[in-house]
């Protein structure tokens, strides 16, 4: 008999029970469910709602049930409806009538809200650690490539030469914001809904703050309606996962481009690449492509849960059972992608000398010519126009900037002197950057030291 059907003459039809059963999803929350039940029963004992003897029996039996589930001795089958029912039924089997006291002064509504918050707290900690591990790998690669010169891009067109380390450090910054989002979210996750009961509270004298303290939560959610009807923290969590995935997808896209023959900058280890069933020469960046694709899964979870919640009147509605599908999908996908991209980067090599010669005199150094004229008191907009005409001439004659003679430069501006030819070395261009956080070796070294201290 279901724990809720006291007023019903018939049990649920098998098809209806199968359709509504959530244990295939919420079974993952058995540890959190038991932790919440133990805190609740200790509070009931403290409040003298149940006896100390009953508290000991129930807590002992719950710990046994935890072990039974973890060892696979207690099967979480669909006929149990949900994890709360499965645990409570097993508790009653083990200790009889005493087990029926467990659900005093609570509902499955506040119970599942608590389980999800306890679960989120653990998963946030795991995600922060995974992000930190990936940041450390990126930092190690940045150290290895402190003087590796690559073209930087805007609009996927060559813009200016930069240090590859500087490019990698940008992703470390992004990932740090991801961690900060999760840390900030913890402030809202770490509030207990337990004791809100179905939605209106309870007439039994309970101590909600006591259960929150046992569960190491910062406080309670004050409004009992909000406590059971809110899924903001889940939505916020999946949104944070979506941003992580967006960052991983952008990096994956770059790895895919860099591994192409046209770029010839990245080489994946054979253990992290695949071939073609038809073309024997192929070495495909499948794992970066899969990360790029799986980003859509997490975006889908965010939109999915927002859609579940968008039209629900207060308080709890059964629609909210679907939240776990989206939550677990986002958690699993984000964690899997963080793990594999970390491994992928460890086993990826970058061609240090790929662009060094190619960028000498490249048109991507044109901005250095503009700055040269500005330093000689030419107004910026005029300098920009002069250099634009120089670029136009180079394009027409299929030559690089350093291949244009000084007499030709002087036709555009008398301010040009022989020292302009020093500008056409990409490393000099990079080193000349003076602003804080720029791509210059001095600034990149500062950033690397900063991240070493942080990580």
Active site residues: 155, 276
CB 161 within 8 A of CB 429: yes
Going by C-beta distance under 8 Å and a sequence separation of 6 or more, which residues neighbour residue 129? Answer: none
CB 241 within 8 A of CB 331: yes
Separation of alpha carbons 151 and 370, rounded Å: 18
DSSP assignment of 277-324 equals SS-TT--B-HHHHHHHHHHHHHHHHHHHHHHHHTTPPSS--GGGGGHH
As a dihedral over the C-alpha atoms of residue 78, residue 79, residue 80, residue 83, rounded to 10 degrees, the angle is 10
CB 88 within 8 A of CB 104: no
Going by C-beta distance under 8 Å and a sequence separation of 6 or more, which residues neighbour residue 256? Answer: 285, 288, 289, 292
In what helix (H) or strand (E) does residue 349 lie, and over which residues does it extend?
Answer: strand 348-350
Q: What's CA 325's distance to the chain center, in Å?
A: 17
Residue 455 in tokens:
């990580």
Task: From residue 358, give the alpha-carbon distance in Å to each of 355, 377, 405, 428.
Answer: 5, 31, 19, 15
Residues found in the chain: 455
Residue 256 in tokens:
């895919």
Separation of alpha carbons 395 and 404, rounded Å: 11
Residue 189 in tokens:
């996750």
């Amino acid at each position: 008999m279901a724990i809720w059907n006291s007023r019903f003459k018939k049990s649920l039809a098998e098809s209806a029970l199968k359709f509504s059963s959530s244990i295939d999803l919420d079974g993952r929350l058995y540890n959190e469910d038991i932790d919440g039940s133990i805190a609740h029963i200790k509070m009931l004992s403290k409040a003298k709602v149940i006896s100390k003897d009953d508290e000991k029996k129930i807590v002992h039996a719950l710990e046994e049930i935890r072990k039974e589930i973890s060892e696979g001795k207690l099967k979480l089958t669909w006929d149990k409806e949900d994890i709360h029912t499965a645990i409570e039924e097993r508790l009653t089997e083990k200790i009889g009538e005493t087990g029926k006291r467990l659900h005093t002064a609570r509902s499955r509504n506040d119970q599942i809200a608590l389980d999800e918050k306890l679960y989120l707290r653990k998963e946030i900690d795991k995600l922060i650690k995974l992000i930190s591990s990936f940041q450390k790998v990126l930092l190690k690669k940045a150290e290895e490539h402190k003087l590796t010169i690559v073209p930087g891009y805007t609009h996927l067109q060559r813009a200016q030469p930069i240090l590859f380390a500087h490019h990698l450090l940008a992703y470390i910054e992004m990932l740090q914001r991801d961690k900060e989002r999760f840390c900030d979210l913890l402030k809202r996750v770490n509030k207990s809904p337990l004791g809100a009961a179905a939605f209106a509270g309870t007439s039994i004298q309970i101590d909600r703050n006591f259960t929150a303290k046992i569960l190491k939560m910062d406080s309670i959610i004050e409004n009992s309606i909000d406590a059971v009807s809110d899924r903001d923290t889940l939505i916020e969590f999946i949104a944070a996962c979506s941003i992580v995935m967006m960052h991983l997808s952008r990096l994956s896209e770059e790895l895919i481009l860099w591994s192409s023959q046209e770029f010839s900058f990245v080489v994946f280890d054979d253990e992290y690449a695949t071939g073609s069933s038809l073309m024997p020469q192929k070495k495909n960046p499948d794992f970066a492509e899969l990360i790029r694709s799986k980003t859509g899964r997490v975006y889908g979870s965010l939109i999915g849960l927002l859609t579940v919640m968008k039209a629900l009147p207060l308080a709890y509605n059964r629609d909210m059972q679907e939240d776990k599908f989206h939550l677990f999908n986002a958690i699993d996908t984000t964690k899997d992608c963080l793990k594999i991209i970390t491994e992928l980067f460890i086993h990826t090599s970058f061609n240090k000398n790929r662009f060094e010669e190619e960028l000498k005199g490249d048109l991507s150094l044109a901005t250095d010519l503009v700055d040269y004229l500005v330093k000689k008191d030419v107004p910026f907009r005029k300098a920009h126009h002069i250099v634009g005409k120089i670029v136009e001439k180079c394009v027409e004659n299929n030559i690089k900037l350093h291949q244009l003679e000084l007499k030709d430069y002087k036709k555009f501006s008398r301010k040009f002197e022989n020292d302009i030819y020093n500008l056409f070395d990409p490393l000099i261009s990079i080193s000349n950057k003076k602003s804080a956080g720029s791509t210059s070796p001095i600034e990149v070294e500062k950033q690397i030291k900063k991240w070493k201290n942080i990580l």
